[in-house]
Amino acid sequence: MKRIAIIASGGDAAGINSAILPLIQQNNFAVVAFHGGYDGIVQQDAFILRPEQVREGVASNRNVLRSARSQLPWQIEGRQQIRQRLHSLGIDLLVVFGGGGSLQAANLLNEEGLPTLLIPMTIDNDIRYTDYTLGFGSAVSVVTQALDQLHGTAHNMPGRIYVLEAFGAESGHIALSGALAGAAHAVILPEQPVDGLWLQARLRACMAGPFGYGIVVCAEGSAADKAVVGSQGGSLALGQQLAAALDVPVRHTLPGYCQRAAIPVAEDRLAAVALGQRALQAIREGTLGLAIGMDRGNAIGVPLREIAKEKRQLDPHLVVAARNLQMIN
């Protein structure tokens, strides 16, 4: 019987339990798992995932696989250790949940003789070959809910500007989608350089309008000091600039890591089921060395070696919508 190992690599994201369930709830092959990403294969014991355990986790923000950022895949000796450990356990295939870095590591292992599949897991939604990555919808939901609450307190006590900082690394997908869903007045994106004078004029108009407040979503990757990206707080400098230029109080909201561990929304759960089922199909057919993804609502498999390293660009339709709503200049 074929034996398969499953890991989660890189930053955690909501929804992967729903993708794991199709892989383990079958009788054609055995499945083991490791906590701790790629390094966990060498450093930790393998364990069995029970279907009832995973099913109970579908509605939970506690993934049945604990993720980690790894070092071993970037060293020839490290990859050899990974392959040797899996070989010693009789593992025929490695299934990886992860983002762009995990994808590159999966490709290296696959090219060196370890059959590998990748299922996209990153809240950033920035992997070029797929329209959707697990965790994105749940992260956007956190930002949207925070904006809903900010609109409430801003209405109750006008005269302020509110700056909400969204995750996304060097991509603005979470910030753009969250700003549109939560009716922000402006959004600052790494992909769209902002005109400072335009932003000030936009917020002056909001402050002078019937509601008397302004809400700005700032993607963490748009920080002027790139050293702070990933460390939170990059939007604080923007707030200081706005407070000085407009002479109004500025208040900050940093949802931070709440965006990673949201209760998975239906969009993530359904995408996860589709991705897990497509991975199961690839395993049964023996078409390995693939990155599983979504293309216009359909689950697909793309050869790992063919995937470009460039980041996925913003949805042009959403950019046009944001511009029409005066969120960007």
Catalytic residues: 124
Query: Are the C-beta atoms of residues 197 and 209 closer than 8 Å to each other?
Result: no
Half-sphere exposure of 213 (CA within 13 A, CB side): 23
Locate 135 and state its tokens: 């965790």
Nearest to 203 by CA among 246, 265, 172, 151: 246
Locate 74 and state its tokens: 């970037």
Nearest to 234 by CA among 246, 221, 247: 221
Q: How distant, in Å, are the alpha carbons of 19, 254, 313, 326 from that of 319?
A: 30, 23, 11, 11
Query: Are the C-beta atoms of residues 51 and 304 closer than 8 Å to each other?
Result: no
Q: How distant, in Å, are the alpha carbons of 76, 83, 107, 153, 178 from that of 111?
A: 12, 12, 6, 54, 38
What is the number of other CB atoms lying within 10 angstroms of the CB of residue 22?
19
Contacts of 55 (CB under 8 A, 6+ apart): 21
Q: DSSP label at 89?
A: T
The H-or-E segment that residue 196 falls in is helix 196-208
